[in-house]
Structure 1
Amino acid sequence: MMAEYLLFATERYALPILAPLAQALHASGQSVSAWFTDGAAGASLPGVPDVGLQQALALRPRALFSAANWVPPFIAGAKVQVFHGFNVQKRDSARGHFRVRGLFDLYCTQGPATTAPFRELAEREGHFAVAETGWPKLDPLFLDDAGASAALRAPAQGRPVILFGSTFTERLSAAPHLFEQIAADIGGGAHYWLLTLHPKCPPELFARYRALAGPNAAFIEPEQVMAAQRAADVLVSDTSSIVSEFVVQHKPVVTFRNRVPQPHMIDFDDPSQLPAMLARALHPEPALMAEIRRYADDIHPWRDGRSSERVIAATEDFLAGEMGVLKRKPFGAWTRGLQIRKDLGYWGPSRR
Structure 2
Amino acid sequence: MSCNNKRYLFYIEQNYAFEILRPLQDAILENGNTIKWLVVGADVNCTRFTEDEDYTFDVNEAINYAPHACFVPGNVIPKFIPGLKVQVFHGLEWKKKGHFVIRDCFDLYCTHGAATTNKFSQLAKNHNFFDVVETGWPKLDNLFNTHKFNFFNNSKPIVLFAPTFSPALTSAPELFNEIKKLITEGDYNWLIKFHPKMDLSWVKKYQHLTANNCIIVNDEDINQVLQSADVMLSDTSSVIGEFSLLGKPVVTLNNSEPGSYLIDISTPEELKQALNAALAPTPDLLNAIEQYAQSLHPYKDGKSSVRIINAVEHILTNGKRATKALPYNFVRTLKARIKLNYWKL
What letter is aligned with 2:113? G
Which residue of 307, 324, 327 corresponds with 1:327? 324
Query: Is 1:57 matched with 2:63?
Result: yes
Which residue of 64, 87, 91 corresponds with 1:85? 91
SS in 2 for 1:254: strand
Deviation at 1:154, TM superposition (A): 4.0
Q: Distance in 1 between matches of 2:93 and 2:38?
A: 25
Query: Is 1:17 matched with 2:20?
Result: yes
Q: Match for residue 10 of structure 2?
A: 7
Which residue of 334, 340, 343 corresponds with 1:344? 340
Q: Distance in 2 between matches of 1:234 and 1:326?
A: 46
Query: Is 1:76 matched with 2:82?
Result: yes
Task: Map 1:123-202 onto structure 2 (within 5 A).
Answer: 123-143=125-145, 145=146, 149-151=147-149, 153-202=150-199
Query: Is 1:216 matched with 2:219?
Result: no
Query: Is 1:246 matched with 2:251?
Result: no
Q: Distance in 2 between matches of 1:61 and 1:274?
A: 50
Listed one character per residue, the Cα deviations across residues 56-86 of structure 1 (whole Å, up to 9, x for unaligned) are 1221112110011101211121110001122
What letter is aligned with 1:255? T
Q: Distance in 1 between matches of 2:274 and 2:30?
A: 43
Q: Match for residue 112 of structure 2?
A: 110
- Cα contact 1:34–1:49 (8 A) shared by 2: yes
Q: Distance in 1 between matches of 2:153 and 2:288?
A: 28
> Which deviates more, 298-307 or 32-41?
32-41
Deviation at 1:197, TM superposition (A): 1.2
Which residue of 25, 40, 43 corresponds with 2:43? 40
Distance 1:45 1:262, change over 3 A: farther
SS in 2 for 1:29: coil
Distance 1:3 1:28, change over 3 A: closer
Q: Distance in 2 between matches of 1:231 and 1:29?
A: 35
Deviation at 1:187, TM superposition (A): 2.4
Q: Distance in 2 between matches of 1:55 and 1:226?
A: 34
Q: Match for residue 121 of structure 1?
A: 123
Q: Distance in 2 between matches of 1:171 and 1:101?
A: 22
Q: Match for residue 288 of structure 1?
A: 285
SS in 2 for 1:236: strand
Q: Distance in 1 between matches of 2:39 and 2:91?
A: 18
Distance 1:29 1:297, change over 3 A: same
Cα RMSD after superposing both structures: 1.9
Q: Match for residue 263 of structure 1?
A: 260
Q: Distance in 1 between matches of 2:193 and 2:322?
A: 44
Deviation at 1:241, TM superposition (A): 0.8
Distance 1:150 1:220, change over 3 A: same
SS in 1 for 2:162: strand
What letter is aligned with 2:148? A
SS in 1 for 2:221: helix
Q: Distance in 2 between matches of 1:346 and 1:3?
A: 25
**Percent sequence identity over aligned pairs:** 38
Distance 1:31 1:171, change over 3 A: same
Query: Is 1:297 matched with 2:298?
Result: no
Q: Distance in 1 between matches of 2:182 and 2:262?
A: 21
Deviation at 1:335, TM superposition (A): 3.4
What letter is aligned with 1:70? V
- Stretches of structure 2 that go unaligned for 5 or more consecutive residues are none
Q: Distance in 1 between matches of 2:44 and 2:106?
A: 22
Distance 1:301 1:26, change over 3 A: same
Q: Distance in 2 between matches of 1:50 and 1:237?
A: 34
Normalising by structure 1, we get a TM-score of 0.90
Deviation at 1:39, TM superposition (A): 5.2
Deviation at 1:248, TM superposition (A): 1.5
Q: Distance in 1 between matches of 2:49 and 2:187?
A: 36
Listed one character per residue, the Cα deviations across residues 99-137 of structure 1 (whole Å, up to 9, x for unaligned) are 111111111001011111111111222111111000111
Q: Distance in 2 between matches of 1:188 and 1:157?
A: 15
Q: Distance in 2 between matches of 1:73 and 1:311?
A: 21
- Stretches of structure 1 that go unaligned for 5 or more consecutive residues are none
Q: How many residues align?
A: 338
